[in-house]
Amino acid sequence: MQSRICEMLDIEFPLLAFTHCRDVVVAVSKAGGMGVFGAVNFPPDKLEEELKWIDDHIEGKPYGIDLIVPNNYQGKGQEIDPDEIIKAIPMEHKNFADSVLNKYDIKTEEEDKGQAGIQFGKNLSDDGAANSLEVAMRHPIKLVANALGVPPKIMLDLGKKNNIAVAALVGAKEHAIKQVEAGVDILVVAGGEAGGHCGEVSTMVLVPEVYEAIKAIKDVPILAAGGITTGGQMAAAMSMGASGAWCGSVWLTTAEAETNPVVKEKMLSASSRDTVRSRSRTGKHSRQLRSPWTDAWENEGPEPLPMPLQSLVSEPALRKVDKLSQSGHEGAKQLATYWVGQGVGLMNQAMSAGAVVQNFKEDFIRAYERLSNYLE
């Protein structure tokens, strides 16, 4: 396809797949798109292992990595002491999380609390990003993306030095302008329909708004994101100024995905209204599958803590829920949740990641032909 994204990244079809699953990365890249590996939860040695596996299986196809280095979070610029971070979590929040678990017959132990999620906090820092980038630069990546703010200088510098495109996720026009002025190569413009961290403005409004706002500054290609699960939606976004699409949710129900089977089944039967945008998981607004866990925090819970403290409350509990739900625990199955966008209502059939890419291509062509018919 004649797209600037295809030219920049050396791919056949401008569909990028954000995923925490290395198998999905490989499958999407082999199918003509590009897999982007979510690396924020991995310490350097584990990240090296994951990227080495991708290198060994991707047959030379392009891929990228995604990091989260926010401009602002609790403790930014300070040395991360795990014990001190844990002490900073109010008992009110710990006790509330325990109360929700106990209500669904899940016992909590002291060892469940604390260390889980510390690596996430470390990786949010500029030093953590530098460690991840040091590992990534030893591999043939074509893209590095940053969420929640302007990429740190080291990311921009290494991108230029190694001819690797640097992308940044934005959820508002003002953020997009800052990113372009900072020198990013690609904007991932994510509407409020998106799973995970997202803004408030819909993709249908945000993409053309950003396109118009940045074209007078610099011609930076846009990847549309947020609720996109079909080639028709991708074509619509490209008609508004995007050069391709960035998708995350649609891969969660694929055969290769490591998604908890209980959650996967929930997603396949969910409607577009079965998600909630909340600060209760990370401290920043993110969209996830609605469950009694999310409802409890929205309706009865204390004010969420700033990032990364809220993650140290939610992630240990949700890891336990995830594990127990897969063993058949009924209470855990009810509580189980994960990040997913409103496009979940269109995700009704499990299939391989490669088949999803092919469906995108075919649906894109059908959408193009429909539009062409109006001009005859």
Asked whether residue 269 is assigned to any structural domain, the reply reads yes
Asked whether residue 98 is assigned to any structural domain, the reply reads no
Q: Which residue has the higher pLDDT, 88 or 288?
A: 288
Rg of the chain in Å (alpha carbons)? 20
Other beta carbons less than 10 A from residue 130's beta carbon: 14
CA distances from 208 to 42, 151, 201, 212, 215 (A): 35, 23, 12, 6, 11
pLDDT at 116 over 60: no
Mean pLDDT of the chain: 91
Task: Measure CA 30 to chain center.
Answer: 21
Q: Is 42 left (phi over 0), alpha (psi -120 to 50) or beta?
A: beta
Range of the domain at 255: 4-77+125-290+337-373
Q: Tally the C-alpha atoms within 13 A of residue 284's C-alpha that lie toward its C-beta.
A: 18
Alpha carbon distance 179, 362 (integer Å): 33
Which two three-digit tokens encode residue 331? Answer: 């209470």
Q: What is the pLDDT of residue 247?
A: 98
Find where tokens 């295809």 sit. 6
How many separate domains does the chain show? 1
- CB 255, CB 352: distance < 8 Å: yes
Where is average pLDDT lowest: 110-124, 227-241, 285-299? 110-124
The CATH number of residue 144's host domain is 3.20.20.70
- Long-range CB contacts for residues 333-337, cutoff 8 Å, separation at least 24: 333/262, 334/104, 334/291, 334/292, 335/100, 335/101, 335/104, 335/106, 335/291, 335/292, 335/293, 336/260, 336/262, 336/263, 336/266, 336/291, 336/293, 337/263, 337/288, 337/289, 337/290, 337/291, 337/293, 337/294
Task: Measure CA 263 to chain center.
Answer: 17
Asked whether residue 297 is assigned to any structural domain, the reply reads no
Alpha carbon distance 282, 318 (integer Å): 12
Q: Is the pTM of this model over 0.85?
A: yes
Asked whether residue 144 is assigned to any structural domain, the reply reads yes
pLDDT at 172 over 90: yes
Asked whether residue 244 is assigned to any structural domain, the reply reads yes
% of the chain residues with pLDDT over 90: 80
**What is the per-residue pLDDT across 178-236, written as a single tens digit (0 to 9) for each?**
999 999 999 999 999 999 998 899 999 999 999 999 998 999 999 999 999 999 999 99
Which two three-digit tokens encode residue 247? Answer: 């998708």
Q: What is the pLDDT of residue 79?
A: 55
Find where tokens 């803004």 sit. 199
pLDDT at 41 over 90: no
CA distances from 28 to 35, 76, 254, 295 (A): 5, 35, 11, 34
Asked whether residue 99 is assigned to any structural domain, the reply reads no
**What is the per-residue pLDDT across 65-107, written as a single tens digit (0 to 9) for each?**
998 876 544 444 455 566 677 788 999 999 999 999 999 999 9
pLDDT band at 124 (very low <50, low <70, confident <90, very high): low
Alpha carbon distance 336, 281 (integer Å): 13
Q: What is the pLDDT of residue 101?
A: 97
- CB 28, CB 357: distance < 8 Å: yes
Q: What is the pLDDT of residue 75?
A: 47
**What is the per-residue pLDDT across 330-356, written as a single tens digit (0 to 9) for each?**
999 999 999 999 999 999 999 999 999
Mean pLDDT of 287-307: 95
Asked whether residue 13 is assigned to any structural domain, the reply reads yes
Asked whether residue 253 is assigned to any structural domain, the reply reads yes
pLDDT at 28 over 70: yes
